[in-house]
Amino acid sequence: MVSTALIVLLVALKFGLPILLVPFPFLAGWANFVLDTVDGDLLIPLGLSDPVYQTIDKAADWVTYVFMVVAAWRWPIRRIVVALFLFRSIGQALFFVTRDEMMFFFFPNFLEPLFLIYATILFFRRADGHAFYRRHIVPVWAVVVLYKLQDEWITHVGNIDRSELIQRLLPPW
């Protein structure tokens, strides 16, 4: 009973939190990132099967991408955001058709890290956010691409549990 209520709450958060991206792109973006990072470690032990979790997670991810596009609609980088949304949506669709996680590696989610970096820049540099982005476009895109390629590889090619990876890398206390 308690685990079912927690599952319902977490799934509702996964689909509801993205709505807050529109008024609060920085705060909701990072909150959504944290939730998406830990949700599997919570939902599966609570009793959600992995195939059901994967379906819910990928559907919630796509809802998040939609709201990222809506939130970024007035940003100068909206065309890039839309292009990355369409690119990742192809991967999402192919995953749902084939159930092959490699689709996520072939169609990496560059949208989310770009959105988070740009929203962070705007949050801290309201007056010159886009100019700051333009001046630092090479390191921004280096972070976006390198972070996401390793993330997609760890998650969908290597199928490495990030929690276990971190535990193995930390020295024993």
pLDDT in tens, 77-87: 999 999 999 99
The amino acid at 38: V
Q: Which domain holds residue 81?
A: 2-169
Question: pTM for the complete prediction?
Answer: 0.89
Structure tokens at 126: 């309201």
Count of the separate structural domains present in the chain: 1
Average pLDDT, the chain: 92
pLDDT of res. 136? 96
Query: Which whole number is the average pLDDT over 142-166?
Result: 84
Q: What is the 3-state secondary structure (H, E, C) of 115-134?
A: HHHHHHHHHHCCCCHHHHHH
Query: In this predicted model, what pLDDT tens digit does every residue of 13-70 receive, in sequence order?
Result: 999 999 999 999 999 999 999 999 888 888 888 888 888 988 899 999 999 999 999 9
